[in-house]
């Protein structure tokens, strides 16, 4: 009896602290409206098909729909996704942060078509793209992902399950305690909030793994849905498990988190040089390409250019610090967000700015350019 009460109190705390963290973070990030160019683009529907607050679904091509999240209004989806509908089958993109998020996307698909669902694709292993997989499992929908996604989910989220909250947060709390000023304290607090959200979501979820591993050596692969085809391909940079979905004959690309549009990129397990090279490849895609980023609003090539300029700004700062012999921890704290990026959401300092600078330092120490 006693332990049951303790357990239910713990899961209550997990649920509420998750929401608290999400809300504390969300105040910073209202989703911007569609850019002017895209609002004029005849391929994109003027109004969303459905808007639940936490996410909306918008038609952006022939049988192509984007699910765009607004984290400030709820944490059901967190990331963006979408789906493709052909004559014979449909393809869902992303497992989202919760089964409710995945269910929302599936329900929306079913208002448009009853074709069988060939697969749901997790673009990579991160919690906000995969913790809703259980919904697909319950519906007998195969979950496809890069072959490393299942092991990375296990390595990353199973250890958090059953771990006491205080233990999981201890390293982050410790940095918060040792912050030297208000700026450092705010940044450390953002890391505590992010870690709290990940811990809570992992503990509040029955993990479900992809059952159809995509061997990166065998990509790209074309999925013919009947009149609509998707090409799944892998590019390096964000997580070591990244797969994108292209609709080449309509110039549409679902990038997963290889693109954060008007956000600071989350880089804690990124390869910075590889990611910047991948963005260079995206920049060489057709000039009229429409991108569905992992986070942020739909965009065209201007979103790729913007993301490259954020990396350039971080790298310029890091290089100046590195050449001046400034220790990496100090270099991370001395980065100031420039005016032109001041409205860009930062998931948490220690998951974005911090690792970008630290990883660049490591690359330079290793003798790489």
Task: Please tell me the distance from the alpha carbon of residue 150 to that of residue 352, in angstroms, as a whole number.
Answer: 24
Nearer Cβ to Zn ion, position 126 or 146? 126
Binding footprint of Zn ion, residue count (CB under 5 A)? 2
Which of residues 58, 118, 126, 295 is near Zn ion by CB under 5 A? 126
**In the chain, helix, strand, coil percent, each to 5?**
45, 20, 35
CB of 266 to Zn ion, least distance (A): 6
Residue-wise burial string across 315-329, b where 16 or more C-beta atoms lie within 10 A, e elsewhere: bebbeebbeeebebe
The DSSP symbol for 248 reads G
Q: Which residues, 241 to 270, sit near Zn ion by CB under 5 A?
A: 257
Tell me the closest approach of the beta carbon of residue 107 to Zn ion, in angstroms: 24
Task: Considering only residues 59 through 118, tell me which ones interact with Zn ion, judged by CB under 5 A.
Answer: none
For the bound state, the minimum distance from the C-beta of residue 242 to Zn ion, rounded and expressed in Å, comes to 8
* Of 86 and 240, CB closest to Zn ion: 240
For Zn ion, the closer of residues 156 and 189 by Cβ is 156
The answer for residues whose C-beta is within 8 angstroms of residue 249's C-beta and 6 or more apart is 229
The CB-side HSE value for 26 (13 A sphere, CA atoms) comes to 19
Q: Which stretch binds Zn ion (CB under 5 A): 22-30, 123-131, 146-154, 327-335?
A: 123-131
Question: Which pair of tokens denotes residue 341?
Answer: 């990026």
Which CB, 52 or 126, lies closer to Zn ion?
126
- 152 lies in the site for Zn ion, by CB under 5 A: no
Q: Which stretch binds Zn ion (CB under 5 A): 90-98, 124-132, 210-218, 278-286?
A: 124-132
Sign for the pseudo-dihedral over CA of 251, 256, 259, 263: positive
CB of 362 to Zn ion, least distance (A): 20
Phi, psi dihedral angles at 214 (to 5 degrees): -95, 115
State which of positions 18-47 bind Zn ion (CB under 5 A).
none
Residue 210: CB minimum distance to Zn ion, A:
15
Minimum Å distance from CB 33 to Zn ion? 24
Residue number with CB closer to Zn ion (80 or 229): 80
What is the C-alpha to C-alpha distance for residues 96 and 102, in angstroms, rounded to an integer?
Answer: 6
| 253, β-bridge pairs | 246, 291
Kindly tell me which of 89 and 353 has the beta carbon lying closer to Zn ion.
353
Handedness of CA 329, 333, 338, 341 (dihedral sign): positive
- Report the sign of the C-alpha dihedral through residues 41, 298, 135, 240, in that order: positive
Nearer to Zn ion, 48 or 237 (CB): 237
Spatial neighbors of 312 by CB under 8 A, at least 6 apart, are: none
The smaller minimum CB distance to Zn ion, of residues 294 and 300, is found at 294
Supply the minimum distance, in Å, between the C-beta of residue 39 and Zn ion: 27
Distance CA 344, CA 217 (A): 35
For Zn ion, the binding residues in 308-327 under the rule CB under 5 A are: none
Rounded to whole angstroms, how far apart are CA atoms 205 and 175? 28
Residues forming contacts to Zn ion in the complex (CB under 5 A) are 126, 257
């Amino acid at each position: 009896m006693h332990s049951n009460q303790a357990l239910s109190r713990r899961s209550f705390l997990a649920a509420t602290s998750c929401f608290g963290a999400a809300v504390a973070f969300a105040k910073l990030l209202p989703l911007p409206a569609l850019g002017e160019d895209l609002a004029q683009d005849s391929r994109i529907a003027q109004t969303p098909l459905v808007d639940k607050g936490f996410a909306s679904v918008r038609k952006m091509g022939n049988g192509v729909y984007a699910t765009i999240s607004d984290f400030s209004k709820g944490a059901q989806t967190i990331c963006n996704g979408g789906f493709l509908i052909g004559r014979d089958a449909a393809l869902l993109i992303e497992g989202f942060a919760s089964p409710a998020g995945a269910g929302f996307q599936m329900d929306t698909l079913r208002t448009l078509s009853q074709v069988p669902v060939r697969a749901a694709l997790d673009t990579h292993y991160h919690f906000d793209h995969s913790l809703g997989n259980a919904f697909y499992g319950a519906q007998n929908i195969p979950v496809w992902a890069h072959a490393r996604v299942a092991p990375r989910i296990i390595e990353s989220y199973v250890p958090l399950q059953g771990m006491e909250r205080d233990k999981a947060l201890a390293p982050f709390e410790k940095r918060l305690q040792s912050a030297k000023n208000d700026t450092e304290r705010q940044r450390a607090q953002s890391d505590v909030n992010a870690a709290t959200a990940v811990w809570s979501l992992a503990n509040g979820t029955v993990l479900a793994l992809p059952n159809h591993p995509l061997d990166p050596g065998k990509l790209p692969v074309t999925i013919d849905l009947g009149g609509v085809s998707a090409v799944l391909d892998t590019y390096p940079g964000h997580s070591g498990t990244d797969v994108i979905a292209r609709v080449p004959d309509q110039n549409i690309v679902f990038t997963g988190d290889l693109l954060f549009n008007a956000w600071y990129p989350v880089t804690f397990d990124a390869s910075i040089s590889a990611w910047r090279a991948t963005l260079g490849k995206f920049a060489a895609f057709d000039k009229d390409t429409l991108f569905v980023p992992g986070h942020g609003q739909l965009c065209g090539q201007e979103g790729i250019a913007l993301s490259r300029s954020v990396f350039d700004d971080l790298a310029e700062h890091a290089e100046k610090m590195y050449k001046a012999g400034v220790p990496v921890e100090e270099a991370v704290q001395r980065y100031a967000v420039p005016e032109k990026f001041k409205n860009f959401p930062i998931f948490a300092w220690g998951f974005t700015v911090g690792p970008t600078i630290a990883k660049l330092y490591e690359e330079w120490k290793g003798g790489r350019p």
